[in-house]
Every structure is written in C-alpha cells, then in structure tokens.
Structure 1
Amino acid sequence: MSVFVDDQEKALRFYTDRLGFSVKNDIPLGEYRWLTVVGSDAPDGVELLLEPDENPAAREYTRALAEQGIPAASFAVDDVDAAYGELVSAGVTFVQAPAAGGPVRTAVLDDTCGNLVQLVSPA
C-alpha cells in the first residue's frame, strides 16, 4: 500500500518513532528511496510504501483528501481509545478524537507528511 509523503525522511521518523512501524526496505533509488515499513508485530505483513509525492497528480490527490478530511490510510488497532492515549503522549496530533461509528470506534491523526490516518477498532 502506498502513502504519498512530502518528505521521506520525515515520514520514516514519524511512522517508526511515533507509530511503531519497523523498516522493511530502504533502498536508494537516485534522489529517492524504495522505503517501506511494516507493523512491528507483523514483519512479513502488508508493507506501507512511503512514496514521494513528486508527481503533481499525487500531490493534488493527497492535498484534496486532507482538505476534505478523508484519511489516506486506515489501520486496525485492538483498542482505539488506548492507542489514542499512547499516541497523544508520544506527541501525535489528532484531528478527530476517538468516536463511535456504528460497530467500530475511530480516531484520525495527522502524519505530519500531508496525510490523515484513521485508526479503527471494534466498538
């Protein structure tokens, strides 16, 4: 899965230091990198590509999603309220505190790289 980011190094620090992902691939490709992260508890799981938003279409897409409050990615967690508390303590900014949404609870954070990211757990 790709997430377009405005700065790969900043994104890497945020997704590893703040959200707890682990680096899976960090391969230089000229000016950029093939930079993927995975859940620390799932090293062979789905990879998140931290992809540069250098393409004007990618930049516009990312901007439009954020302006409309639409998350670029959604991650399942065991307990949204607990994750929210831990991440706020770690300095993560949320644009939506935990809220009920039918059979789930959600919260939305700002990844500092141009994206909103939704966390979701069973209600």
Structure 2
Amino acid sequence: MQQELIHIALVVNDYDEAITFYTKKLGFELLEDTCLPDENKRWVVIAPPGSKGASILLARANNDEQRQFVGNQSGGRVFLFLHTQNFDKDYTNMISNGIEFVREPSEQDYGTVAVFKDLYGNLWDLLELTPGHSMAARIKAMCE
C-alpha cells in the first residue's frame, strides 16, 4: 500500500493575514480557498510554487486551546523545512521581503541552512541540500 503525506495543518489567527504573508512575502501559491459555511471555516491550502510535495492547510484557531499554539506548534523547535534549489537567491528575496532570520546561513554536512520565523513566530529552515545527500535524490525524483 502506497501512502503520501498531502497536507500539514498550520494553526493561524486569521486566514487572510496568513494568506497575505505566505503568498506575498514567501511567494507561495494559493491552491484553494473554499468557504465551509456550515462550520464557519475555510479550507485554505498553500504551497511553494511548483511544489509536488505536501501542502500546508491554514487552519484558523477556533478556541483558546488552539490559539495558545499559534506560532509555537513545535514547542520552539524548527517546525517546517523549506527546500530550495537556489539558497542565495531565495535568502536574498526573503530578506528583501522583510522575513526575519533568527539564525544566519551556515554550511553543514547536509547543505546550507538558515532559520526564519513566519508571521506568527513558527520556526522554519530554509535549506539547500548538498547534491549527494540522501534526501536530495528523493526531492529531485518528486520534482521530475
């Protein structure tokens, strides 16, 4: 049986402010924005341009319990990993779009990485893997 991870839910305060941040500042594509009137919710899906991997479901926090996790879904650790094929270009674009980096770029055995915050404070890795890394081949296969 083959299975695929297709969405990762990201709890947000507001659909529209999250859509604006991810599409205007990070350049993601808005794949779907459908009202669910019976539930007073929207089904909002975003992804990096051209991505064939998992997408992000923007899920608005509906109560105090959910709101306490906005911006801290992983207990202060890096939550999401954004792979790029051109680290320098994307890093420069993100800086010019006002993205806050909390760890500057560094070279690691697995590639080049820097840590940034999204609009709520969730931590992300911007990552370009070295060509020989095991995940690099997997990502390349997904994109073909």
TM-score (norm 2): 0.70
Structure 1 residue 118: deviation in Å?
Answer: 1.4
Letter in 1 for 2:56: L
Question: CA deviation digits over 1:13-51, x for unaligned, max 9?
Answer: 011111111111101124321100122223x54321111
* Contact 1:66/1:114 (<8 A) preserved: no
1:97 maps to which of 89, 93, 104: 104
> CA–CA distance in 1 between the matches of 2:55 and 2:101?
23
Shift of 1:10: 0.9
The one of 11, 23, 28 aligned to 2:18: 11
- The residue type paired with residue 62 of structure 2 is E
Task: Please list every run of 5 or more consecutive structure 2 residues that lacks an aligned counterpart in the other structure.
Answer: 1-7, 131-144
Q: CA deviation at 1:114?
A: 3.7
**Equivalent in the alignment of 2:34:** 27
Aligned residues: 121
Match of 1:52 in 2: 60
- Choose between structure 1 and 2: higher strand proportion: 1
Contact 1:5–1:114 (8 Å) recurs in 2 = no
Deviates more, 1:48-57 or 1:84-93: 48-57
Question: In structure 2, what is the Cα distance between the partners aligned to 1:97 and 1:32?
Answer: 37
The alignment's TM-score, normalised by the length of structure 1, stands at: 0.80
Distance 1:63 1:91 in 2: 18
Contact 2:72 2:121 in 1 (8 A): no
Confirm or deny: 8 A CA contact 1:80 1:107 kept in the other structure: no
Structure 1's unaligned 5+ residue stretches are: none
The 8 Å contact of residues 111 and 129 in structure 2, kept in 1 or not, is answered as yes
Contact kept in structure 2, 1:35 and 1:51, CA below 8 Å: yes
Larger RCO, structure (CA 8 Å, separation 6 or more): 1
Give the Cα separation in 2 of the matches to 1:102 and 1:55: 42
SS at match of 1:72: strand
CA-based RMSD = 2.3
